[in-house]
């Protein structure tokens, strides 16, 4: 909201980002973190552990279970508080101070693992 548009990138760069729809199977606490939770996400042929900083954003984190959302699945794994994250949840509004941020999700159910873009 009023933030400048980021620098232009080529389609080749955009094509390297693997964005897929996945269903959140569980939301787990991450020990020693007051912000981060672990989402276990089903992408059809594979599952991933995805950490995201939404612990304080939502009163009912378990309400995310069974919902589809968009995720980046080809980021390098990163360990946070002893738990590995293998991707990134797309959320809408957090960077602009909207809390809770909205999940980027499909208009209607699609197969888990289907690619965006």
pLDDT at 59: 86
pLDDT at 41: 98
Contact 37, 27 (CB under 8 A): yes
Residue ranges for the chain with pLDDT beneath 70: 1
Contact 54, 99 (CB under 8 A): no
Name 12's Cβ contacts closer than 8 Å, sequence gap at least 6.
Answer: none
pLDDT at 88: 97
13's enclosing H/E stretch is helix 11-15
pLDDT at 1: 64
pLDDT tens-digit readout, 86-111: 999 999 988 888 888 899 999 999 99
Alpha-carbon distance of 98 to 69, in angstroms, equals: 18
Alpha-carbon distance of 85 to 49, in angstroms, equals: 5
pLDDT at 98: 87
What are the tokens at 106? 């499909």
14's enclosing H/E stretch is helix 11-15
Sign of CA dihedral 58, 62, 68, 74: positive
pLDDT at 117: 83
């Amino acid at each position: 909201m009023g933030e400048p548009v980021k620098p232009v990138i080529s389609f080749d760069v955009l094509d390297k980002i693997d964005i897929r729809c996945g269903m959140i199977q569980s939301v787990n606490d991450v020990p020693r973190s007051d912000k981060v939770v672990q989402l276990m996400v089903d992408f059809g042929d594979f599952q991933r552990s995805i950490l995201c900083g939404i612990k304080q954003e939502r009163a009912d984190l378990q309400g995310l279970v069974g919902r589809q959302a968009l995720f980046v699945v080809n980021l390098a794994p990163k360990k946070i508080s002893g738990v590995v994250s293998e991707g990134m949840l797309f959320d809408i509004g957090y960077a602009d101070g909207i809390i809770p941020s909205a999940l980027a999700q499909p208009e209607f159910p699609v197969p888990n693992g289907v690619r965006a873009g």
